[in-house]
Amino acid sequence: MKLLSEFKLGNITLKNRTVMAPLTRCRAIDNIPNDLMAKYYAQRAGAGLLITEGTAPSPNGLGYARIPGVYSEAQISGWKKVTDAVHENNGKIFLQIMHTGRVSHPNNMPEGAKVLAPSAIALSGKMYTDEEGEQPYPIPQEMTVQEIEEAIEEYVTGAKNAIKAGFDGVEIHAANGYLANQFISPITNKRKDEYGGSIDNRLKFVLEVAQRVTAAIGAERTGIRISPYGVFNDLGPFEGIDATYEQLAKAMGELGLVYLHTVDHEDMGAPAVPNAIKETVRKAFGGTIIASGGLNGDSAEAILQSGDAELTAFGRPFISNPDLAKRFEHNLDLTEPNQDLFYTPGAEGYTDYPVASTASV
């Protein structure tokens, strides 16, 4: 199987082409990575590449309850436990840097942090908080140019801290309706300055983040995740969307980013992402593509054989099958995850999923 073959990604060699997709799991008490998280990632080090859950580059970037950060010494030390455990198990791991922007609530943030976004447009619905349960999303503060500059530098500091913590690289989260995606989409970006309006202006934030992160840690250690046609967090298609993502992919390719990670949530009920835009993005980027979204072993293998992607990412299967690559190798049944325990604190539904026996294989 091509899925189980080695792949050279930048300066590292992946032992297979299965990627563990970033998965919010809400186990970081006080937003600090811990021993339980180190065990969780180490259990899944059989993947060719692990990409961590979305991790805040600053207090302003915190969204959900109990998500980790990468802006304090305590967090760097906590992540060092994770990277050491993964590397001891012959794994490779990237940190996903996620500033949630308007997808947040003050109850999930430390005192003094602010819910910021390109424009003062509130997300519909409610967000869970440990303090008061479900709460309506607040109207975010529209970012000043100075706050935009500060946020860009927070990504850079986060990337540097990730390398300090022992990560093999970082993934810039520009998908699923979080801050970078909020700048890209005219649904959430109504600005009249140099960060809003035209395609060039709406891409300015994510391009500046990518430029400065690659300058700080190297393009060979920097990837990016995008979700064209994604509808998560109140986003969706807009006029000029194909041209926007073609231009974005081309710019990322010119920077030499080590991969472009595309999201397709059709299996979770979202509209299908047109194959045409996937192909456009792939050609415009010209480098390693990670495909994700509802894949199984057979569909991933087909994508790899077709040349539509070089790597394939799996989310929920990795939650309940820490030895997913081994199960693919031996054609073993997969364990179904308990969705009620996706975001709860503690080991249950997190580190207690069994590995499969291959004694009879």
Distance CA 324, CA 356 (A): 9
DSSP 6: -
For 101-148, the pLDDT digits (tens) are 999 999 999 999 999 999 999 999 999 999 999 999 999 999 999 999
Distance CA 222, CA 96 (A): 10
Distance CA 285, CA 106 (A): 37
Tell me the catalytic residues. Answer: 178
For 285-300, the pLDDT digits (tens) are 999 999 999 999 999 9
Residue 360: predicted pLDDT: 44
Q: What is the dihedral of CA 229, 233, 234, 237, to 10 degrees?
A: -10
pLDDT at 361 over 50: no
Q: Across-strand partners of 259?
A: 223
User: 30-44, 59-73, 125-139, 269-283 — which is least confidently predicted?
Assistant: 269-283
For 182-240, the pLDDT digits (tens) are 999 999 999 999 999 999 999 999 999 999 999 999 999 999 999 999 999 999 999 99
pLDDT at 72 over 80: yes
Residue 213: predicted pLDDT: 98
The model's pTM? 0.97
